[in-house]
Structure 1
Amino acid sequence: MLLPGVIVLFIYNYVPMVGISIAFQNFYPSNGLFGSDWIGLTNFRYVLQMPDIMQVLWNTMYIASMKIVAGLVVPLVIALLLNELKKEFIKRGIQTLIYLPHFLSWILLGGILIDILSPSQGIIAQILKAVGIDPIFFLGSTKWFPYVMVISDVWKEFGFGTIIFLAAITGINPTLYEAAIMDGASHWRQTWHVTLPGMMPIIVLMVTLSLGNVLNAGFDQIFNLYSPAVYESGDILDTVVYRMGLIDAQFGVATAIGLLKSVVSTVLISISYYMAYRLANYRIF
């Protein structure tokens, strides 16, 4: 039963790794994968000497870190609140509504957000005007752009995380709540001493997996919403790779950036697994 999945994983995740060699070449597609001149670490040195690379790296880590924290805290809080609802049909209805945005692409949501946040005709601008505040060009402001990315990403994805945490709650032994009630524990005490400890393995797993994405700030979202006006605070590693690799045809440099990202992500997720094992006795093998 595992064989089809292993084959697909090998074809789409391991075979393409041959392309890593492009990072060490002055690559020309017409020469084939191994026909270009090998230049060692020149592409990596070029990347590290780019004048704006540190700002791009900061933007990536800043946006990604905020997404990781908000993407864990918001679903956890919503799951705890939904767990307190007694009417099952209301609970299911809310779950469905908050889960729906997960299935929408950023191409569609990008168009919706551009309309909503328009400084001239957008609904947010109209509300600000109504209360006497000058409209803000959220998608054209270097100050507001990162926060718009985080808020919109959380709005799209928190329903998925909420379902995961609700599933963890349903796996908690009900007798633990009965024992807590017998001891006179309030709802808050039950949540703190029973629910949260019971969810801890899933929380640790979600944190561990998310740390590997600290250099992935969300290419699809930012590509559909950013512009040269917000490069200072919105340009990330993935958008730089896109421009250098597909627009400027600097394939070697773009591959070098992608390889550096992969190495750093591998190190971070390895450290996070080790910390999860040492601090929470969580292990995947």
Structure 2
Amino acid sequence: EGRGRVAGRALAKRVKRSARKYVPHFTAKGTAVLVKLMRAEDSITFEAFTARADEVAAAANSRGGIEAFMRLNGVPDSPFGSDARTEAEQKRCLDLRRPATKKKLLRRVFDDTDSSGDNLVSRSELLAALSKPDSLLVKHFPKHVKEIPKWIEACGGASMTWAEFSAVASRALAKPGGRAGDVGQKVADPLGKDDRPIAEKAKHMDLRRPKTKKRLLQQVFKEVDTSKDGFVDRAELMAALKGDDSPLKRHFPKHLHDVPRWLEGCTKDQKLTYEQFERVAWGAINAPSRA
């Protein structure tokens, strides 16, 4: 890629094919771990690669070391699988704050659950604490409020140290958020089959350009998100959308009643990110209105 960097996925293929040929002491498991680590990198320098390879080799050749290394570095692939969203949608869901800022906020999240102060928390207690609507995770990382717990679940283990939590959560934060709940999945029509004639359904379609509708959905969410933290309470959202001065009334009059009904049928979370709201509302406004 120039500037002394190599694409991570290309390097992963080379490692998988040739690592044990050139480094005989590298174990099969160590090779598999290094391959996964390289796949997670967009690009990497030679110095960073050799340092990573040395860490994996040392762990792989010590008793129980590779399992600990895997947990510490969050080696499992993203528990959400491939991301079918557009590049623009993914970019909008990235946490672009400085790594030092994110690490400081992650420490606050961890310390909030570490009641004993021994730098070790039960994984089950940690997941329970992070799932609360008023947790610090919601406050500091609203875009990744479901992603971080998912990554923690994927890593296994009965307990986690601060170093393990920081490594796994940082892996989650390096990828686009907003994939919880209905995000990234096709939302089925919660109102059931529409048996009206095609000509009748056509009268109730919103035929404006997708770009226009997405811009207006963003405007609707911004008006409801009074705290401006990218997160809204589900009950407050429903009340605002059904009110007399609803932004839906101004921007989506044909689907004034459909969007709330889709949200009621498709979402169960107490708080919603914009991405979750858009995914469900998008399904509603692109279906014929049933009002």
For normalisation by structure 1, the TM-score amounts to: 0.28
Q: Which has the higher strand share?
A: 2
Q: Which has the higher helix share?
A: 1
For normalisation by structure 2, the TM-score amounts to: 0.27
